[in-house]
Amino acid sequence: MRDLSITFLTGIATPTFTLPCLEDSAISGLSVSKNSFICSGHFFLMLIWKLKGRQLALIIGSTAISFIINVVMVTQGMGGAYYHPWARLWQLSLGGAFAYMQSCRVADLHSPNINLVAGALCVAMLACGVGGYLMFLGVIPTRAVPNDAQKFVLASMEDWLTGTPGTSWTRASVKLITLGASARYVLYIGDSNMQQYYPRIEKMLADHPLNSRGAIFAARDWCAPVESDIPDSSGATSPGCRAFVHNAFEYAKEPKVDTVVISACWRCYFLSFEDSPLRSGRLNPGAEEAFSSLQREIGSLLHAGKRVYLILGTPVSADLDPRSMLRRVIVPPGFRVVISSPKRSDLAAAVEPITSRLLKIAQVTGAKVIDPMRSLCNVTTCSPVSPKAEPVYHDWFNLSPSYVRENVRFLDGTPLGPGPMQNSASHYNGDDGAVRRFRGTSLSTSEVLVGATAFGLYI
């Protein structure tokens, strides 16, 4: 018996599995990295092998059915279609079809049916490839995105830094960004969760040209504002990042800087989720050392007479990503918008280990705490759209620059002065003037949380 093994690739170099087929040859298909898909692939090929004489019909039928399932599932969300083995079986069966025809060609090179089917499939694949490339170039127009979906597409492509075309998010500026000319400055230190606030600060200073403070941004995407290493942070505490953060905190000690604001996607670096990201995660190794480092820096700044604001994490969830709200449909207009608002309690519970630790830092040092969740969520849910149906987010953990520019007001008091901030957010659920320092060290973390919630001691 002779085996013939052909691998059908879809962009991933994967091992081939082979089963004997009609006339002592072999059918092989592609295997993929997902175990579920590999198991279903073996089952599929074994079933074909058992049904001698009907292999080609079964392969073609399975390909068509699986492809239809894939199209239907895509309308319910791309993630579900990608990970469902039966929605991707058409890739396997298509590879099996080529292998089958090749094996039959070896047995009977003069079979007109095999040559005809093989030629038709090759022409169809070539036509699909050429058509897709022409659509990519814009030669063949694609279906227009409806107006109600277009704003979600634009939100996912918008950059926080104006004047930087060709990128959906500027990772880091070449140097510190200074807004305004003044004798006193507010220094904003952080990652993309700080960069997202740049449009609002820029607008506030432009609207108040006589303000006595300017603003300086020291922000770098995917760079935790701590000077110690976090092993499981995917490079967020690399040597280059730590050097950047060190220089930023050193700059904060300059006499002209009287206020320092620190923000980050804390959960991105400090938490690991073993099952569901909506459940409370565990702190990564090295997190406690990083928090201690942050506490020392904040304490040093406060001892030097600086005002320090510590911003808790922005509510994050895959449901908040504007791209996840768009569903492809076969019928016109081709897209529909599906909005799902995650529960506030779920999002808060997921990051509770970080929240409690940051509040403890504020309690010990006397820093002021700002909680974006009080502005971005109502009592029960965190909506991904504003009351005007505009997208709130840029992706699953960064806010939309346009939304921030016009609606996020909880940072207005940082450049405009130490006085209370006015509560004028369109769907704000908290007291903007209730920013206070945690004084004393005798309170436990739970007492701080309860007290802050009951009396509005943090935003």
Find all residues with CB under 8 Å of 153, minimum gap 6, and list them. 145, 322, 323, 326
Query: Which residue has tokens 């406060």?
Result: 302
Over residues 131-156, mean pLDDT: 85
Check whether residue 99 and residue 192 sit in a common domain. Answer: no
Same domain as 342, residue 282: yes
Q: What is the pLDDT of residues 237-291, one digit of tens each?
A: 889 999 999 999 999 999 999 999 999 999 989 887 654 555 566 888 889 999 9
Residue with the bigger pLDDT between 96 and 39: it is: 96
- Stretch 292-298: mean pLDDT, rounded? 96
Domain final position from 109, 131, 162: 109
Tens digit of each residue's pLDDT (9 = 90 or more) over 40-70: 666 666 666 666 667 777 778 878 888 888 7
Which residue intervals of 399-444 are DSSP H helices?
401-407, 413-416
Biggest CA–CA distance in the chain, Å, is 90
Same domain, 377 and 285: yes
Based on the domain organization, do 363 and 431 belong to the same domain?
yes
Segment 362-387, tens digit of pLDDT: 999 999 999 999 999 999 999 999 99
Mean pLDDT score of the chain, rounded to an integer? 77
Contact between 411 and 197 (Cβ < 8 Å): yes
What residues make up the domain containing 362? Answer: 153-455
Q: Residue 431 corresponds to which amino acid?
A: D
The pLDDT tens digits of the residues spanning 397-433 come to: 999 999 999 999 999 999 987 633 333 333 323 334 3
Q: Is 154:183 a contact under the CB 8 Å cutoff?
A: no
Nearest alpha carbon to residue 59 among 11, 33, 111, 21: 21
DSSP string across 161-192 = STT-TT-SS--B-SS-EEES--SEEEEEEESH
Give the DSSP letter string of 244-298: HHHHHHHHHTSTTEEEEEEE--HHHHHEE-SS-TTS--EEPTTHHHHHHHHHHHH
- The 10 Å CB-count burial string (b at 16+, else e) for 364-402 is ebbbbbbbbbbbbbeeeebbbbbeeebbbbbbbbbbbbb
* Shared-domain flag, residues 167 and 62: no
State yes or no: pLDDT of 447 exceeds 90: no
Is residue 126 one of the residues assigned to a domain?
no
Q: How far is CA 302 from the centre of its chain?
A: 34
Residues 284 and 424 in one domain: yes
Residue 212 lies in a domain: yes
Residues 232 and 358 in one domain: yes
Phi and psi, residue 271, nearest 5°? -120, 145
pLDDT band at 222 (very low <50, low <70, confident <90, very high): very high
Strand 335-337 with 326-328, pairing: antiparallel
Q: Say what the pLDDT of residue 403 is.
A: 96
Q: Which of 22-36, 93-107, 145-159 has the lowest mean pLDDT?
A: 22-36
- Evaluate if residue 113 carries a pLDDT over 80: no
Distance CA 164, CA 376 (A): 27
Quote the pTM value: 0.70
Q: Which alpha helices (H) appear in 24-166, and where do they start and end?
A: 35-50, 55-74, 78-83, 89-107, 112-137, 147-157
Q: Is the pLDDT of residue 177 over 90?
A: yes
Structurally, the chain folds into a number of domains equal to 2
Is residue 359 included in any domain, yes or no?
yes
129 found inside a domain:
no
- Percent of the chain at pLDDT exceeding 90: 43
Residue 338 has pLDDT above 80, yes or no: yes
Give the closest residue to 267 by CA, choosing from 287, 248, 249. Answer: 287
Which tokens is 408 given? 């996020």
- 228 with 330, same domain: the answer is yes
Phi, psi of 178 (to 5 degrees): -110, 130
109, 138, 162 — which closes off a domain? 109
Using pLDDT thresholds of 50, 70 and 90, give the confidence band for residue 296.
very high
Kindly state whether residue 3 falls inside one of the protein's structural domains. no
